[in-house]
Amino acid sequence: MKAANNSSATSPGIPNLAPADTDELRWQAVVARSAAADGEFIYAVLSTGVYCRPSCPSRQARRDNMRFFDNPAAAEQAGFRPCKRCRPTGASPQEHQQQRIAELCQWIQRTEHLPNLQQLAEHAQLSPHYLHRLFKQTLGITPKAYTSALRQQRLQAGLSQATSVTEAAYAAGFDSSSTLYNQAALGMAPASYRDGGRAQQITYAIAPCPLGQVLVAMSSKGICAVLLGDDPQQLAADLHQRFPAAACLQQDAALHDSLSAVIQLIEQPHAGIKLPLDIRGTAFQQRVWQALQRIPPGETRSYREVAISLNAPNAVRAVAGACAANPLALLVPCHRVIRSDGALSGYRWGLERKQQLLTREARESADA
């Protein structure tokens, strides 16, 4: 019987796992009965002729009696049959869990008054403690953080239609004006948001850099965008699209120091810079971006590793989505997140730039 080829594509400057290394990592996942690895591969037992998902609770086989495959079809082609206990050809327990939470989220979105944890548990017919753990494990955020983000979305939608901020606040589920100002993360005062952000001013500067062109934009709170590209006009257009109602003014001289610091970060990744940031995103995006800032230069993490670090091993796709939505290139180093096999994957500013950044960081780490 022949196992599937586990070799991965080669990416210059990125270490790739040899087949033996990949099998060793898969073996460790089987030993841990890792549900997070379900769907990544399956394993087959030579003595029984059965193949299983990594989290299968069956008695563990010896390492030398086991073979790994990329998917059930490859295992069946090699002559193995599916396990009747873990049913590797159907939806995994993890997928059932994701579906259950997805249905609960849809119910939350349909409710007029956002429910608390007890009400959610009663609707899901689960204990509050178990629901809280299941919800966070699946989405990476707590039910309270999810409903808070939904309340904010309702506020943002309502501010443009309501006759007053107070009316929009109560309609969105805020119980008082003080709660609104303490909890709403709009990036500006609610009244300014209701007016389309017209009272907000964003200054920006553009300059050549080793990666092409870089734009650095700053609000009254701090740097709110770092964009990479080849065309200065396109970068400015991207900024205006992100802040359509704000007054975006190019002031190269005023932002000279901040711009120079960002360019220095490209040339000297380990130097580090301390600049005030105005990071706007959902509760989960904020958590992902904070995790990315903890990855040292010269090192990488897989999307799954980032999800696990957030105690949300099932939220791999959500982590990838947060990386794609990152508005602060370099300062929030989403380029340090790669695929599990060591290959590069999507980078909103281009895979070539991602490769250049990782190669620079790896070279500087080796020289340190």
When divided into structural domains, the chain yields a total of: 4
Q: Has residue 153 got a pLDDT over 80?
A: no
Closest among 225, 54, 36, 56 to 140, alpha carbons compared: 36
Question: pLDDT digits over 202-215, tens only?
Answer: 899 999 999 999 99
Q: How confident is the model at residue 292 (pLDDT cuts 50, 70, 90)?
A: very high
Q: Is 323 annotated as a binding residue?
A: no
Residue 276 lies in a domain: no
Whether residue 98 is found in the same domain as residue 185: yes
Residue 273 maps to a domain = no
Q: Residue 318: give its domain's CATH number.
A: 1.10.10.10
Confidence of residue 135 (pLDDT cuts 50, 70, 90): confident
Q: Among the three residues 82, 102, 128, which one is the final residue of a domain in this structure? A: 82
Check residue 173 and give its pLDDT: 54
Q: State yes or no: pLDDT of 6 exceeds 70.
A: no
Residue 35's nearest CA partner among 285, 301, 315, 288 is: 315
Band of pLDDT at residue 195, cut at 50, 70 and 90: very low
Q: Are residues 287 and 234 in the same domain?
A: no
CATH of the domain at 210: 3.30.160.70
pLDDT for residue 14? 34
154 and 178 co-located in one domain = yes
Q: Does residue 7 register a pLDDT over 90?
A: no
Q: What is the mean pLDDT of residues 143-167?
A: 65
In a domain, 88, yes or no: no
CB 39 within 8 Å of CB 92: yes
Q: Distance between terminal CA atoms of the chain?
A: 47
- Last residue in a domain, options 211, 241, 267: 267
Count of Cβ atoms closer than 10 Å to residue 61 Cβ:
17
User: Which pLDDT score is estimated for 155?
Assistant: 63
Same domain flag for 105 and 177: yes
Confidence tier at 301 by pLDDT (50, 70, 90): very high
307 & 218 share domain: no
CATH number at residue 137: 1.10.10.60
Question: Residues 52, 113: one domain?
Answer: no
Looking at residue 242, its pLDDT comes to 82
Q: Round to whole Å and give the CA distance between 300 and 293.
A: 12
What pLDDT score was predicted for residue 127? Answer: 92
- Give the per-residue pLDDT at 164: 54
Q: Where does the pLDDT of residue 181 fall: very low under 50, low under 70, confident under 90, or very high at 90 and above?
A: very low
Domain-embedded: residue 29:
yes
Whether residue 118 contacts residue 61, with contact meaning beta carbons closer than 8 Å, is answered with no
pLDDT at 92 over 80: no
Is 164 strand, coil or helix? coil
Residues 151 and 208 reside in one and the same domain: no
- Same domain membership, residue 247 and residue 189: no
What average pLDDT score do residues 283-294 get?
88
3-state SS, residue 208: strand
Q: Is residue 9 part of a domain?
A: no
Question: Is residue 10 a part of any domain in this protein?
Answer: no
| Same domain flag for 106 and 186 | yes
Whether 287 and 259 map to the same domain: the answer is: no
- Give the count of beta carbons closer than 10 Å to the beta carbon of residue 221: 13
Phi-psi region of 316 (alpha: psi -120 to 50; beta: other; left: phi over 0): alpha
Residue 177 has pLDDT above 70, yes or no: no
- If asked whether residues 243 and 333 sit together in one domain, one would say no
Least confident of 45-54, 144-153, 236-245, 349-358: 144-153
pLDDT above 90 for 77: yes
86 assigned binding-site residue:
yes
Which domain-ending residue is among 170, 194, 218?
194
52 is in an annotated binding site: yes
Domain range spanning residue 31? 19-82
Report pLDDT for 154. Answer: 66
14 belongs to a structural domain: no
pLDDT at 166 over 90: no
- Please compute the mean of the pLDDT values over residues 304-324 and round it to a whole number: 86
How many CB atoms within 10 Å of residue 84? Answer: 8
Judge whether 246 lies within some domain. Answer: yes
Query: Which residues are catalytic, by number?
Result: 52, 334
* pLDDT in the model for residue 81: 94
- The mean per-residue pLDDT over the stretch 19-26 comes to 73
pLDDT at 176: 46
pLDDT at residue 362, rounded to an integer: 87
Residue with tokens 């995790």: 291
Residue 83, marked binder: yes
**1-12 exposure pattern, b = at least 16 Cβ within 10 A, e = fewer:** eebbebebeebe
Residues 226 and 184 in one domain: no
CATH number at residue 47: 3.40.10.10
